[in-house]
Structure 1
Amino acid sequence: MKSYYADLHIHIGRTATGKPVKITGSKNLTFTNIIHHAKNQKGLDIIGIIDCHSPEVITEIEALLQEGELQEHEDGGLLFDDMMIILGSELEIYDQYCHGPIHVLSFFPTLSHMKDFSNWLSVLMKNIQLSSQRVYIEGRMLQQKVKELEGLFIPAHVFTPFKSLYGKGVKHSLKEVFDPHSIDAIELGLSANTEMADRIAELHDYPFITNSDAHSLAKIAREYQKISLQELSFKELTMALQQMDGRAVEANYGLDPLLGKYHETVCVQCGVAQPQGTVLCSNCASKKIIKGVKNRIQELANVTSMAQGRKRPPYIHQIPLEFIPGIGVKTLEKLLLHYGTEMAIIHDVPLASLQQVIPEQAALLIEQARSGSLQFDVGGGGRYGRIRID
């Protein structure tokens, strides 16, 4: 087996001709730019690119295949040199069983499967060109179609207060909307970790994945995982999610939940953190309260232990380089010039070597991020937490 770094949730901001796909995504976030940046700067081995159902994106992928820049693996997945691309789609469902909109991820083994999915979607949504569009179909029917096309179905950022499974989508259980047997993994999102999610018994049946949900090139790999595979292919990734024959998620790398922008319950009006169950802000009496992931999980929690019968990989609190004070654009460029990729800088470069290239305080903060010894000001209400420097 070999270990690979994977980020499976990267959005496309624009097509090759400049047309919008993810409205809130960066204009330079094209399919071609993503694959080059993810491989050459981030140092990833596997990426899942969302929004590949967009017809213009499909045309761009077809052109790259014809030019020989991409190759389809016989067991699924596209190869860009030694990096694998998984074609995905993020959709929003809000059917009669939902209490709020839910975002879900679907991944397919080949471009042909994705084209079939795109054609099927085109009559179920208002604009097939755009990302995260609402699809007018029940959750279970969407799952059924994904499975007919040999795909993977994964609820996205499941605890985010808006547009997620547990945020507002269901009151108590995923069974209210989905067939539990047709879910392949659970994406945790930026404000939760394994320990928090495993307090919900029904999630013990699923592997957890941690992804960036990147809306810009810089945000790629702010969360990711290390996966053990025999080789790079869609089939091998599927086996890893099923923990088959030694394939598995080895480790999840994600933000400390305290840094997540929806971790704490916060009043939007004045920014003051609120206790669980708050209706009116204790500081300014505003009703504009965003319930944090921590409190939502407390409402849903029905067990106190980790998943039984499923070996959970370690969840490693990883700090993206852009979060670290003192590492701006020029400092990052200097680090990349010396060490090649962000994965190498985050995981492998010794402290003594870092101190020869960048200011000592920034190097020490990278080392403290590795050891988990940093302190934070907690995030919430749509604002990220921050690293606290004594």
Structure 2
Amino acid sequence: MDSFYADLHIHVGRDMNNKPVKITGSKSLTLINILKESSRNKGIDMVGVIDSHVPSVQQEIELLINNNKAIELVDGGIRFEHVTMLLGSEIEVYDESCYGPIHVLCFFPTIQHMKQFSNWLSTRMTNINLSSQRFYGAGKELQYKIKELEGLFIPAHVFTPFKSVYGKGVKTSITEVFDPDLIDAIELGLSADTTMADHISELHRYTFLTNSDAHSLSKIAREYQKINSKEASFKELECSLHQVNGRHIIENYGMNPLLGKYHQTVCKNCLLAYSGEGQCPKCGSIKIIKGVADRIDELQDTVEPVSTRPPYIYQVPLEYIPMLGPKAFRRLLDRFGTEMRVIHEASEQELKEVVHENIVQAIIKMRKGELPVIAGGGGKYGSVRKN
């Protein structure tokens, strides 16, 4: 067995023809740039590209394979340099059982499986060429098709106030929309950690994932997991999610939930953080954006955590460290190669040989989850305090 870092939620901003895929994604967030950034700078071993249902993205993948720049693995996934790409899709579900739209992720082992899924999806979606489009059908129908094609089904960022299963989609239970036996894992989102999510007993049976939901290259691996498996492949990931033959998630690395942009309840009008009871003390509005922490409190039915959960390590991307400028950041990469090596492997003494003492201490505090933060909410990210 070996260990691998995986970020399974990365969008494509533009295709190889410079046409938008994820409209809110960065123009530089192309497939080839994702693969190069992940392999060469981030040091991530496995990435989930969740716009692989788009035909032009599939064409670019096949072009890489045909030009011998990538290979399709026997156990599923596309290997490019040091990184394995998993073929994924983010879909917006809104069936008759929903109170609001729900985003889900699905992954398939091969490009042929994904093509079959895209052909089926195109009859139930207005525009197959764009990311996160609405699926016209029942949630369970979608699950059945994904399983028919040997895929994985994962509800995405499950607590965010908009477009998530608990945020708007259901009243109290995931079973209102989905078949619980056909769920392979749960993606927490940036505003929650495993301890918070374990307050909901129906989630105890599932592996939790921490992913970046990256809309730009720099946001890749702001959250990720360390996986114990034989290789970075689709099949090994599937085994890890279900803890088969020693495969498992070793650790989840995520930002302190306070840094998530929907952690606190805020006034919808002026974004003041308050309890949500009565009128906003600043502007008098009674409309709120309910924060993840308050929504979990509503749903809570247990305080017992799952004893076998992997550790959840509070971390921030290096770019979040206030005193770390671009020149110092470049020196770190030149010395250690990738961000994963800076974050996980470089000793304190080695860091001191490259950057100033205050930056070194910030990195050490970050590793320990001790950086002081300012909470976010209402669509505004939290931040790391400068002192």
Same-fold status (TM-score > 0.5): yes
Matched letter for residue 368 of structure 1: K
Corresponding residue for residue 294 of structure 1: 293
Q: Does 2:379 correspond to 1:382?
A: yes
Cα distance in 2, alignment partners of residues 291 and 344 from structure 1? 37
Matched letter for residue 281 of structure 1: C
Q: Does 2:210 correspond to 1:213?
A: no
Cα distance in 1, alignment partners of residues 278 and 152 from structure 2? 39
Corresponding residue for residue 138 of structure 1: 138
Cα distance in 2, alignment partners of residues 160 and 384 from structure 1? 13
Corresponding residue for residue 169 of structure 1: 169
Cα distance, 1:353 vs structure 2: 2.2
Cα distance in 2, alignment partners of residues 201 and 162 from structure 1? 22
Corresponding residue for residue 255 of structure 2: 255
* Number of aligned positions between the proteins: 387
Matched letter for residue 294 of structure 1: A
Given that 1:50 and 1:89 are in contact with CA atoms closer than 8 Å, whether structure 2 keeps it comes out as yes
Cα distance in 2, alignment partners of residues 11 and 337 from structure 1? 27
Cα distance, 1:330 vs structure 2: 2.6
Q: 1:370 aligns with which of 352, 357, 367?
A: 367
Q: How does 1:113-124 map to 2 (within 5 A)?
A: 113-124=113-124
Corresponding residue for residue 21 of structure 1: 21
Corresponding residue for residue 305 of structure 1: 304
Matched letter for residue 107 of structure 1: F
Matched letter for residue 301 of structure 1: Q
Corresponding residue for residue 54 of structure 1: 54
Q: Does 2:317 correspond to 1:320?
A: yes
Cα distance in 2, alignment partners of residues 368 and 382 from structure 1? 26
Matched letter for residue 331 of structure 1: A
Cα distance, 1:186 vs structure 2: 0.1
Cα distance in 2, alignment partners of residues 302 and 112 from structure 1? 42
Given that 1:87 and 1:114 are in contact with CA atoms closer than 8 Å, whether structure 2 keeps it comes out as yes
- Structure 1 window deviating more from structure 2 (332-341 vs 200-209): it is 332-341
Cα distance, 1:328 vs structure 2: 2.8
- Structure 1 window deviating more from structure 2 (264-273 vs 78-87): it is 264-273
Cα distance, 1:279 vs structure 2: 4.8
Matched letter for residue 341 of structure 1: T
Secondary structure at the counterpart of residue 236 of structure 2: helix
Cα distance in 1, alignment partners of residues 356 and 270 from structure 2? 36
- Structure 1 window deviating more from structure 2 (150-159 vs 317-326): it is 317-326
Given that 1:201 and 1:307 are in contact with CA atoms closer than 8 Å, whether structure 2 keeps it comes out as no
**TM-score (normalised: structure 1):** 0.97
Cα distance, 1:88 vs structure 2: 0.1
Cα distance in 2, alignment partners of residues 370 and 49 from structure 1? 27
Cα distance, 1:356 vs structure 2: 2.7
**TM-score (normalised: structure 2):** 0.98
Cα distance in 1, alignment partners of residues 351 and 345 from structure 2? 10
Q: Spell out, residue by residue over 1:290-333, the C-alpha distance to the aligned partner (whole angstroms, 9 max, x if none).
A: 1100000000000001126xx21000001111111012333222
Q: How does 1:191-230 map to 2 (within 5 A)?
A: 191-230=191-230
Corresponding residue for residue 350 of structure 1: 347
Unmatched 5+ stretches in structure 2: none
Q: Does 2:382 correspond to 1:361?
A: no
Secondary structure at the counterpart of residue 79 of structure 2: strand
Secondary structure at the counterpart of residue 352 of structure 1: helix
Query: C-alpha root-mean-square deviation of aligned residues, in Å?
Result: 1.2
- Structure 1 window deviating more from structure 2 (342-351 vs 14-23): it is 342-351
Cα distance, 1:266 vs structure 2: 1.3
**Runs of 4+ with deviation above 3 angstroms:** 268-271
Cα distance in 1, alignment partners of residues 165 and 324 from structure 2? 35
Cα distance in 2, alignment partners of residues 342 and 82 from structure 1? 14
Secondary structure at the counterpart of residue 204 of structure 2: helix
Given that 2:9 and 2:214 are in contact with CA atoms closer than 8 Å, whether structure 1 keeps it comes out as yes
- Structure 1 window deviating more from structure 2 (280-289 vs 335-344): it is 280-289
Matched letter for residue 57 of structure 2: V
Cα distance in 1, alignment partners of residues 19 and 386 from structure 2? 42
Given that 1:267 and 1:286 are in contact with CA atoms closer than 8 Å, whether structure 2 keeps it comes out as yes
Cα distance, 1:228 vs structure 2: 0.4
Cα distance in 2, alignment partners of residues 112 and 329 from structure 1? 41
Cα distance in 1, alignment partners of residues 379 and 225 from structure 2? 24
Cα distance in 1, alignment partners of residues 262 and 84 from structure 2? 31
Cα distance in 2, alignment partners of residues 147 and 112 from structure 1? 15
Cα distance, 1:70 vs structure 2: 1.1
Corresponding residue for residue 241 of structure 1: 241
Corresponding residue for residue 42 of structure 1: 42
Corresponding residue for residue 160 of structure 2: 160
Given that 2:7 and 2:224 are in contact with CA atoms closer than 8 Å, whether structure 1 keeps it comes out as yes
Given that 1:279 and 1:289 are in contact with CA atoms closer than 8 Å, whether structure 2 keeps it comes out as no
Q: Spell out, residue by residue over 1:245-273, the C-alpha distance to the aligned partner (whole angstroms, 9 max, x if none).
A: 00000100000001111111112433321
